[in-house]
A and B are shown apart, each in its own frame.
Chain A
């Protein structure tokens, strides 16, 4: 149980286009979902926290207008990278938690974004 999927697993896009990444909890309802990004040889960095039906809470330094997060249901959250640029190329990982707070986070497999 507690499986989280991400789609797509890999995406290549042209600079200036927008890319949507989906994160789904397959066998449980996730009150809270998290979005992380990871640069090569760096730590995972939390980008934002989203609760179902509420606006996402973004970490300092993360542009909310560039990284649009929608948590429309208890099993789906989406991250849209708008007007992508090469510096947005990264590995994006989502996680989902049944109850939020200190509850266990279950991680998706990640999405590799390459912006040309």
Chain B
């Protein structure tokens, strides 16, 4: 059974810092990995999707990497802004349509 761990559970950084969020998983037999953002009481916004054959994806200030052999993914946020404050979830896509989510990292960017 796939297990997804996100560390740290919470992170607070001053505005302008670069930061890295971590996601680790136990089963490397995945189709893809997604990073989501969730604002309090809101649904999910998909940020980046990495297919299993890819190593990384970039969108603006965000860069996500995938290393299946080590069971790790990172989400790098450059030049953080207060508007980046949210909970970030990683999710692994495997067979049978399912996504397995981590518990998320709550990010606070302090102005």
Contact = CB atoms under 8 A, between A and B. Distances in A.
Given A43-B102, A43-B104, A104-B49, A97 B42 contact: no
Interface of A: 6, 32, 34, 41-46, 49, 91, 93, 95, 97, 100-102, 104-110, 112
Given A44-B99, A49-B97, A105-B99, 20 more contacts: A43-B102, A44-B44, A44-B91, A45-B101, A46-B98, A46-B99, A49-B96, A91-B41, A93-B44, A97-B97, A102-B32, A102-B97, A104-B34, A104-B49, A107-B36, A107-B43, A108-B43, A109-B42, A110-B42, A112-B41
Contacts of B104: 43
Task: Give the interface SS of chain B, mostly helix, strand, loop or mixed.
Answer: strand
Contacts of B99: 34, 44, 46, 105
Interface in B27-44: 31-32, 34, 36, 41-44
Nearest to B91: A44
A37 B103 CA distance: 13
A106 B46 contact: yes
Interface in B18-66: 31-32, 34, 36, 41-46, 49
